[in-house]
Amino acid sequence: MTRCPLASAVFLFGLVPALAAAQTTARKYICFGDSITEGRGDDPARANPGYPPRLQALLQGAGVSATVLNRGVGGERTPDSLSRIDSVVAEGAPGDYFLLMEGTNDISRAISPETTIFNLDEMARRAEVKNILALHATVIPRKPDAKVDADNLLTDALNGRVRNLAGLRQRREADPYEVFRSTPNLFSGFYVVAADDPVGHPNAAGYDILARVFFNALQGIDTVPPVTGIVSPANGAKDVAASTRIDVDVWDFGTGIDVANTFLLVNGAVTPTVPSGNAVRAHLSYQPPAPLAGIVSVGLRSRDLATPSNTVDREILRFTIAGTTTVTLQGDLNLDNRVDGSDLVIFALHFGALRGSATYDARADLNADGKIDGLDLAILASNFGKSATQ
């Protein structure tokens, strides 16, 4: 397997700021976004809420001469942002940074992902015209009781496009979504409890994490494993043809992908797919030798070139084959009318999760008690080997 070529290596290093210069050059970091940048949900005792003041403290603590500006506006959508972007970037100067995290309100208002990505690209471009360095950021997960996209399917798809945009434009990228979704007890420990919150905002502890994500991205500290870009079929897709091909883009904005140890799994089994591309962007394409059935689980197993490596081994998408019918046999998680090893693999991905956590899946909570544990495993085991026709 070919490692990252020279051009890709140059790209990788281009994503990491010139740290030595950052220690001595006074710079502004313009944080642009919606209420999650503004700081809704933060400790009300804080005079300056949100991640920007925390980021400034982290940067200054690392010896960086940094002034971090909070330019978040609650409730804003990306079409609204275009009306104020010029006045905001005018506050910066060549060599400053523009940190862009926006799009979750677009999902709430049914704005197409194509429109959102176009707007994000245009905002970053206007910063770059003034020689301000643009950094794209994924949006954080929505709470399980969110009014729109509670299952985060739309959010996941948008974030894949954000990564794709950052990679293709050779811009820096921070990944709050990946870091948040991997945080234990995410929604119970790091999100504010508010009845009128239609999306889900961090609490003070959540904003601490968010600031650290941006700090690490700016300082070239790699703590994020390889992440998915655009995938096909889309996560959550219904009525997919049984003969469909599976395509997955994988990106890494840090040390790079260990492509020789990157694998695509279908229903828990490693496929013979060999990644193409390089350590920045790898592509996995799999044409199943036989028609697929039921609910198909696609997983990614990979690691990066950091020391120690950051690893990922989880389900990245799930889709339903056309003609699949729902059955009542408990434990048939992939709806193929049989409880077998494929269901056990899916169950294992969510074992130990609690309702409200990022890894919770109601399908695996077979007794619906809010936790996926040994009691649910016992139910699955009682039907193991059975078919719905028996």
Q: Which of 65-74, 133-142, 272-281, 318-327 has the lowest mean pLDDT?
A: 318-327
pLDDT at 287: 98
Over range 70-97, report the average pLDDT: 97
Q: Tell me: pLDDT of 6 over 80.
A: no
In tens, the pLDDT along 230-273 reads 999 999 999 999 999 999 999 999 999 999 999 999 999 999 99
pLDDT at 160: 98
Q: In what order do the strands lie in the sheet with 269-270?
A: 269-270, 263-266, 295-303, 311-320
The residue that leads in pLDDT, 354 or 168, is 168
Q: Tell me: pLDDT of 222 over 60.
A: yes
Please, what are the domains in the chain? 17-219 (3.40.50.1110), 224-323 (2.60.40.1220), 325-390 (1.10.1330.10)
Q: Which of 110-119, 192-201, 254-263 has the lowest mean pLDDT?
A: 192-201
pLDDT at 335: 74
Q: How confident is the model at residue 195 (pLDDT cuts 50, 70, 90)?
A: confident
Q: Quote the mean pLDDT of the chain.
A: 90
pLDDT at 356: 65
Q: Tell me: pLDDT of 200 over 50.
A: yes
Cβ atoms < 10 Å from Cβ of 135: 24
pLDDT at 14: 46
Q: Tell me: pLDDT of 386 over 90.
A: no
Over range 124-133, report the average pLDDT: 98
- Backbone CA torsion sign across 15, 21, 23, 28: negative
pLDDT at 309: 98
pLDDT at 24: 59
